[in-house]
Structure 1
Amino acid sequence: MDNEGRESGHLMLITPERVFYAGLLGRPHQRCSGAFHVYVAIKGGLRLAAEGAVEGYSELAVVPPNLRHTIASDYRSVICVLIEPETVCVGALDLLAKRLAGAERQFFVGRIHAACEQLQHEPRDGDIFSSAFDIMCFGDALPRRILDARVVKAIAQIGRFSGDPVTAASCAAEAGLSSSRFLHLFKQETGISFRSFRAWKRARHLLHFANQDLNLAHLAQHIGYPDSTHFSHSIRRFYGLKPRAIFSGSRDLAIYRSGRAAAGDSAWTQEAG
């Protein structure tokens, strides 16, 4: 953890399946992330304007995956918890959203504030299991989704971010399926198209570098974007901010990285039929 991050209290814990962020929110622009979001105000409240819904104001706001929304805060910083939806049983995030918005709201606000305090004073040096992350933030571990082994392998390929770009055709060939059959299987298992999934994971990978002084054009190429223009448009669509604004606002951000999703319980798959 760098000294600036220690002094500011701004931090981000990144695991393959979860993210805990406490830092600057930035100007309110529309964003549309591939993750399930739980926003919690550090001070005051939050104003959420989500597509198809009436604008709301509260200490805690929930946004399902792939929903266009704008979030603004009374205070310049915010806490945000991200959950990758393909890692959780179908319906579990809907149930969590209802709990977060219901009578237990203040419990969750306090729980997430306590998690932030814990991470600031007791930073995690090793890997954190998704179940431990969930308990820290919500009091219970979310039930894991069991994915087809062929889809798990494709997701692992997407997450390597090195070498030639991962394509549906290459994943289909490795799975022993036609491209059309593989694409159908992938969406059936994850709830999202292969292309959209890959685009979000690529943008998510940017978070690992957010506090570093890097050449953004080189970073875009490293992550797998064809050019800087595509890189900028994609990042702004997912985060509501241009890449340069993200890096400018993350200079004092302490980043912790966990290499494993959940060790023994993250690799649960069903055998390919």
Structure 2
Amino acid sequence: MIKPTVWIEAGVVIIYGSSLDAAPHSHQAIQVTWLQKNSLCKFNGKNIAELIIIDSKVEHQLHMSAGWILLIEPKSDLGRELSKLLAGQSFKTFSSTFSMTYKPLTRADDVGKFLTPLFKELNMTNQSLSASKSTVVDTRIQQLLSDLDQCLHGDCIKPSSWRAAEVAQQLALSESRFLHLFSEELGIAWRPYLLWRRIMCAIQALLNNVSATDAAHLAGFSDSAHLSRTFKNTFGMTIRQAHALFSKD
């Protein structure tokens, strides 16, 4: 069995895994599931052999023998392109003539180049290659997102202390104005967005071989049980399963 690989950047999480088995769950991200050649996938109890896109906040259950999972922030350029392809459907399958082979991803890899075959399969435009590019206009929100992105590169900024009132004060806004502006710019409220970013922070810590308990505290969860419950609700797996999946050893 090939060891899983995880690649995290602003706006996109790419996971390769084998024997992936998740309980019913939903999450903020748009999900793309791309099977490895000759692999099997069961989506909501039905066997599929095609590439599948699942919309944000749609509950689903996935069993996959081997392949790639992409989690995309809906308001990124790539997320908007995928939303157009869904055309209002909760999920959509696409016939695929190309099967991505396994390749361990590193920080030096160009995610756009890596995803080029996927974009070609979906007849997507070249603009979608900038998968992490934000469509946010307000410069204050842009800076806020840039600050949060520090966690993706190992410099955790303790997002547990980022209450809406504190962030609003830093941006010289009232709390109500900040919450409205953030939701308007990203299409998601601050609290669930920050929770998603905390999860990404915890995953990054696990990738750095931090214990589940320490990863939970770094990401602003009260303890590993709290983190595990959140993982279970979001990804359909416990933190113990996630640690086994994401650890490097």
- Verify the 8 A CA contact 1:37 1:64 in the aligned structure 2: yes
Equivalent residue in structure 1 for 2:43, among 45, 48, 57: 48
Aligned to 1:80, the other structure's residue is in SS state: strand
CA distance in 1, matches of 2:30, 2:95: 17
Give the structure 1 partner of residue 119 of structure 2: 138
Normalising by structure 2, report the TM-score.
Answer: 0.78
CA distance in 2, matches of 1:90, 1:235: 22
Aligned to 1:22, the other structure's residue is in SS state: strand
Residue 35, structure 1, aligned to residue 29, structure 2: yes
- Verify the 8 A CA contact 2:74 2:83 in the aligned structure 1: no
Residue 92, structure 1, aligned to residue 86, structure 2: no
Q: Return structure 1 stretches of 4+ with deviation > 4 angstroms.
A: none
Deviation (angstroms), 1:186:
0.6
Normalising by structure 1, report the TM-score.
Answer: 0.72
Residue 224, structure 1, aligned to residue 220, structure 2: yes
**Gapped runs of 5+ residues in structure 1?**
1-6, 254-273
- Verify the 8 A CA contact 1:132 1:141 in the aligned structure 2: no
Aligned to 2:96, the other structure's residue is in SS state: helix
Deviation (angstroms), 1:230:
2.0
Residue 63, structure 1, aligned to residue 75, structure 2: no
Quick one: structure 1 residues 169 and 128, their matched pair in 2 at CA, closer, same or farther if it must change by over 3 Å? farther
Aligned to 2:68, the other structure's residue is in SS state: strand
Give the structure 2 partner of residue 154 of structure 1: 144
Quick one: structure 1 residues 169 and 136, their matched pair in 2 at CA, closer, same or farther if it must change by over 3 Å? farther
Deviation (angstroms), 1:229:
2.9
Residue 128, structure 1, aligned to residue 124, structure 2: no
Deviation (angstroms), 1:236:
1.1
Give the structure 2 partner of residue 245 of structure 1: 241
Aligned to 1:186, the other structure's residue is in SS state: helix
Give the structure 1 partner of residue 179 of structure 2: 183
Give the structure 2 partner of residue 259 of structure 1: none
Q: Percent of aligned positions with the same letter in both sequences?
A: 20
- Verify the 8 A CA contact 1:15 1:128 in the aligned structure 2: no
- Verify the 8 A CA contact 2:72 2:79 in the aligned structure 1: no
Higher relative contact order (CA 8 A, sep 6+): 1
**Gapped runs of 5+ residues in structure 2?**
121-125, 151-155
Aligned to 2:20, the other structure's residue is in SS state: coil
Quick one: structure 1 residues 185 and 169, their matched pair in 2 at CA, closer, same or farther if it must change by over 3 Å? same
C-alpha RMSD over aligned residues: 3.0
